[in-house]
Structure formats: structure tokens, C-alpha cells
Amino acid sequence: MRIDLHTHSRASDGTDSPSELVRAAVDAGLDVLAITDHDTADGWDEAAQAASETGLTLVPGMEVSTRHRGRGVHLLAFLADPSHPELAAELARVRGGREARVPTIVGRLNDLGIAITEDDVRRASHGTAASGRPHVADALVTLGVVPDRTAAFDRYLGWGRPAHVDRYATPLEDMVRWVSEAGGASVVAHPWGRGGMGRPDEETLAHLQEIGLTGIEVDHQDHDQRARAELRAIARNLGLVTTGASDYHGDGKLDHDLGCNTTEPDELARLLEAADAAAAASGRVTPDVVNR
Ligand code: AMP
Ligand code: FE
Ligand code: FE
Ligand code: ZN
């Protein structure tokens, strides 16, 4: 069983359409795929339709932008009902912050002498509800300003670079609670990764677990072997689920091929049990796992 629980499509900043993502997962020999676009469930229907025409098991999820102690934290939310009122309102607020940021970033780039327009960014973002810096990066590539996304982040868009602009993100603890209330299970994405939440220690993770956190993403390209071993030990102590995933973005991120990290079947079973328990407790209608 090959299980990849963190991937992006063009519904956010990946470069494959949701159905292309599903086909790529089948081609990569995966048995289970989670689609986890940033702050939106927009890719779910197309991905579910595509998966139902194959044997691939599809887990609908999202990667939600949150904040904890002043730092950005990505929270994977699996099988939550996206129409849960607080969750829906908060996701809309996060996406609003993404939209509002685009003109500011474009203005900063213009000040640097780069002739980029908001339309250039909209063209690069394929109508996504979750426009992000990668789309600005793609527009800069199209304009010939930089060779690739990475260069755009290194020169202009990354933290501390001249066109970096902050945006709204949900307080982490609130989002952990809302995902549970919406019948889903949450997992901190790349907790010790680049540009993540620093190094949340065992005490912090234990507190998050008390309010509903199900697991942590241990096997991720941002974690070296030592970080993985330490995170796995913390998860074992606390009884948190551990996941592994590629964080695939199509052509948008190098060295993140589908299946480059995977989740153990037992851990997936525990994750799905946690989501089932949350759904039963909340009484909400949550999305189906396709080909479960
Ligand atoms: P945003 O959500 O708009 O703040 O942009 C953050 C996203 O940009 C992350 O989720 C990554 O997918 C992507 N990203 C961050 N750093 C890089 C990089 N150096 N190269 C390519 N993509 C990146
Ligand atoms: Fe991304
Ligand atoms: Fe992330
Ligand atoms: Zn991601």
C-alpha cells in the first residue's frame, strides 16, 4: 500500500488539474491519495470524479493557513465538512487575505522596476480561489524576470525579500477546534519545516492534541533524518498519528514527486478512525473517501 496524504492541484498552487493529479497518482503507483489544496475544497469534486473511474482511494482534505505565536503554520484538515459555518467563514477570510495581498505585492514589484500587472497574476492563477505567491512567481517566470518559482521566492517573494507581503491566517488553536467540530481530523504539516512554526516542542503538540489535533506530518522533504526521528519519538510518546507525504505541486516544486514520502497503512487507519469519531460526535455530513 502506497499512501500519499499531502498534494496540491491547480485549485491552489499546484500545476496539475485535480483530474491530472489523480491520473499522476495512479501512474506513480499510489493506492491512496489525499488532495490538500491551500484553503479551499474546490478541487474535490473533479478529483473524486476522476478517482471513481480508477481504483485509487481518494481522501478529500485541505492545507489551511494558520498562525501560532506569530509564525505561519500549515494545518492539514482531512474529511472536514467545508460548509461548517465557522470553518467556511474562516476559509473565506483567509482567501480574502490572499486576494487582497496581490495588488500590494504587484505594487512592490512595480516599485522595483518590474512591469507586472494584477492581470498577469490572475492569468497565472487559473481562476483559483486561493491565489498565492507561487502564482506571482509564475507570472514573473512568464515575463522572463526569473527562471523559475524558486528564484522568484529567493529574490522577491520569500520572507525578508523586498516584495514579501504578509496576509491573514487563522489562529491555529481555533482552526484545530473547528476542524474537529466540522467532523474532520487535523495534522500539522511539516512542523519542523522551512518557514514553518519553528520547532513546536512536545508540550506544544500535547496541548494541541488536547484540543483535537490528530497527528503530525513526520516524513516530509523539509525534515532531515534526525528531525524525522525526533518527531516520531514525540508522536509515539503522545499517541499522535504520524503521516508522510510528498507535498507534490506538479512542476511547481522540485524534489516533491508523488510518493517520495508515504504514510503507513496503520497510521492512515487511525487517521480515518479519528475523522469518523469527530463526524459522529459533530453529527455533520462529511465528504466520502472515494474507493474506501
Ligand atoms: P502563500 O500561500 O501565497 O503564502 O505561498 C506559500 C506557498 O508558496 C507554499 O505553500 C509553497 O507551495 C510555495 N513556496 C514557498 N517557498 C517556495 C519556493 N522557494 N519555491 C517554490 N514554491 C515555494
Ligand atoms: Fe503550496
Ligand atoms: Fe505547507
Ligand atoms: Zn502543501
Where are the CATH 1.10.150.650 domain residues in the chain? Answer: 102-157
Q: What's the average model confidence in pLDDT over 221-244?
A: 98
Where are the CATH 3.20.20.140 domain residues in the chain? Answer: 3-80+185-282
The rounded Å distance from CA 154 to ligand 1 centre is 11
Which one, of 191, 187, 193, lies nearest residue 212 by Cα? 187
The rounded Å distance from CA 62 to ligand 3 centre is 10
Ligand 1 test: best mutation among 133, 150, 161, 220, most atoms within 8 Å of CB? 133
Q: What is the pLDDT of residues 110-151, one digit of tens each?
A: 999 999 999 999 999 999 999 999 999 999 999 999 999 999
Residue of 113 and 72 predicted with greater confidence: 113
| CA 55 vs CA 36, 37, 48, 151, 193: distances in Å | 19, 22, 11, 38, 32
Q: What's the average model confidence in pLDDT over 33-45?
A: 98
Mean model confidence pLDDT for the chain = 97
The topology under which CATH files domain 3-80+185-282 is TIM Barrel (3.20.20)
Is the pLDDT at 282 greater than 80? The verdict is: yes
What is residue 199's predicted lDDT score, i.e. its pLDDT? 81
**Pocket lined around ligand 1, Cβ cut-off 6 Å:** 13, 38, 132-134, 149-150, 153, 249, 253
What is residue 187's predicted lDDT score, i.e. its pLDDT? 98
Is the pLDDT at 195 greater than 70? The verdict is: no
Backbone angles phi, psi at 195, to 5 degrees: 60, 20
| Class (C level, CATH) for 102-157 | mainly alpha
pLDDT category of residue 197 using cuts at 50, 70 and 90: low
